[in-house]
């Protein structure tokens, strides 16, 4: 993969730009443990990249329970917001270097997430307190969030919307994703996709991705490809 072939780099947020999944796993346990439903991390791996209501259906089937979706979703959101207000989430090593390279090379940058705009604002406001690079109003040339789209990943709509906002063609974009629906969305849109392997997504089929990299090796991958461009 040659970075010089692209004119834009597009990032997913959760699990790519920042590692939100361990926080989500903890929040889910906070909500369900008092209900007598004990969700292991391994069970929650199946939730990655899917809508909350679909995940609740999985829980109902596995534990033979009936859930009030609106009530549970509200509780999950309240707990998650509380966690985000306290903690600055860790940025994936390699991502800042890739962003800086993109900026230096005048490549466009975009964020494509199924999370709502509110979460984007909170997460990047926290990050910007430690590094002004992460201010969302200057970091990204365009952003697409889950509350702006009709069809979520794996549908190509999110990435097609983002490439349209960036005024670029999908085939000229490199996408970084960490979920099976995300990879499918990027490839269906016509983008090149780099999939990040993490401990919680090894069960996912990343066959459609153009390249797969272990998240722990991303910094090395980025450094190698940047140096090859110099």
Active-site residue list: 12
- What is the dihedral angle through the alpha carbons of 133, 228, 94, 187, rounded to the nearest 10 degrees? 100
- Contact between 143 and 118 (Cβ < 8 Å): no
Rounded CA separation 184/177 (Å): 10
> Distance from CA of residue 167 to its chain's centroid?
22
Q: How far is CA 124 from CA 8, 10, 13, in A?
A: 20, 16, 10
Q: In 3D, which of 170, 70, 175 has the Cα closest to residue 113?
A: 175
C-alpha triplet 123, 85, 196: angle, nearest 5°: 35
* 192-197: strand order across its sheet: 142-144, 108-112, 8-11, 173-177, 192-197, 211-214
- What is the dihedral angle through the alpha carbons of 157, 161, 167, 173, rounded to the nearest 10 degrees? -50
Rounded CA separation 159/157 (Å): 6
Q: How far apart are the first and last CA of the chain?
A: 15
């Amino acid at each position: 993969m040659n970075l010089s072939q692209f004119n834009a780099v597009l990032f997913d947020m959760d699990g790519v730009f920042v590692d939100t999944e361990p926080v989500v796993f903890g929040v889910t346990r906070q909500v369900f443990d008092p209900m007598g439903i004990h969700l292991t991390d391994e069970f929650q791996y199946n939730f990655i990249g899917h809508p909350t209501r679909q995940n609740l259906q999985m829980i109902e089937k596995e534990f033979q329970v009936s859930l009030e979706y609106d009530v549970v979703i509200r509780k999950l959101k309240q707990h998650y917001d509380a966690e985000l207000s306290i903690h600055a989430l860790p940025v994936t090593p390699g991502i800042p270097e890739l962003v800086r390279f993109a900026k230096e090379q005048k490549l466009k940058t975009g964020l494509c997430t199924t999370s709502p705009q509110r979460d984007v604002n909170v997460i990047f406001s926290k990050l910007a307190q430690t590094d002004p690079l992460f201010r969302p109003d200057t970091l990204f040339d365009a952003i697409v969030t889950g509350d702006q789209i009709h069809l979520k990943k794996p549908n190509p709509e999110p990435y097609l919307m983002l490439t349209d906002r960036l005024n670029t063609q999908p085939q000229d974009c490199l996408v970084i994703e960490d979920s099976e629906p995300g990879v499918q969305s990027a490839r269906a849109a016509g983008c090149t996709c780099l999939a990040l392997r993490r401990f919680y997504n090894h069960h996912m089929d990343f066959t459609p991705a153009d390249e797969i990299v272990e998240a722990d090796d991303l910094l090395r991958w980025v450094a190698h490809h940047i140096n090859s461009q110099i």
